Amino acid sequence: MAESDFPGWHGTTIIGVRKGDKVVVAGDGQVSLGQTVIKGTARKVRRLSPGGYDVVAGFAGSTADAFTLLERLEAKLEATPGQLARASVELAKDWRTDKYLQKLEAMLIVTDGKDLFVITGAGDVLEPENNIAAIGSGGNFALAAARGVYDYMDDPEQIARQAMAIASDICVYTNGNLTVETIG
């Protein structure tokens, strides 16, 4: 599969940073259609609370597809309260095997303040090695920037904001209008 065909690699930047007892998920607000900016203030980071259990999720890719996946994730979390890893694996299995879900083009970063995962349509539930996860067209820029400042900043929100500022300066599909959610 070519990188340009990979679901979610165009049109946004989402980053998750864990440091100390906090996890921050930040996302930009730009929605693009081809080379045109349609909206600059979209909320691509959301707080889910199935059964009083807080989870923060950020998405890159098709908005309708991402909302379908977020609804499925909420249902999995309601079935397995307090078990983000299990709910994420169940979602990834469904996404990989269900004919309808296989066509969805999005990626998710999810956290409950303890775990931090990237969930993909390839059936992956990935836990980042360096406490930083990033997806979307500017994901690699944000990831590199966050790794560069991680040891020099104590607050994960500052790290995420700095990384997103750098990504928005480089990636034309990413803007500086951020939604930031903290958990933990």
**Can you tell me the mean pLDDT for 16-20?**
97
Number of independent structural domains in the chain: 1
> Which member of 12, 13, 111, 182 is catalytic?
12
- In angstroms, the CA 164 to CA 2 distance is 25
Whole-model pTM: value is 0.91
Left if phi > 0, otherwise alpha if psi is -120 to 50, otherwise beta: which for 22?
beta
Q: pLDDT by residue (tens digit) across 28-47?
A: 999 888 888 889 999 999 99
Contact 58, 27 (CB under 8 A): yes
Residues 7-20 as b or e (16 or more Cβ within 10 Å = b): bbbbbbbbbbbbbe
Q: Which domain holds residue 29?
A: 3-183
Q: Residue 117: what pLDDT?
A: 98
CATH number, domain of 143, equals 3.60.20.10
* Alpha carbon distance 134, 31 (integer Å): 17
Q: Would residue 41 show up in a list of annotated catalytic residues for this protein?
A: no
DSSP string, 20-45: TTEEEEEE---EEETTEEEES----E
How far, in Å, CA of 176 to CA of 184, rounded? 25
Question: How big, in percent rounded to 5, are the helix, strand and coil portions of the chain?
Answer: 40, 30, 35
Which residues share a beta bridge with 122?
none
pLDDT for res 10: 52
Residue 1 pLDDT: 43
Instruction: Extract the annotated binding site.
Output: 168, 171, 174
- Give residue-wise pLDDT tens across range 120-129: 988 899 999 8
Q: Answer whether residue 175 shows pLDDT above 50.
A: yes
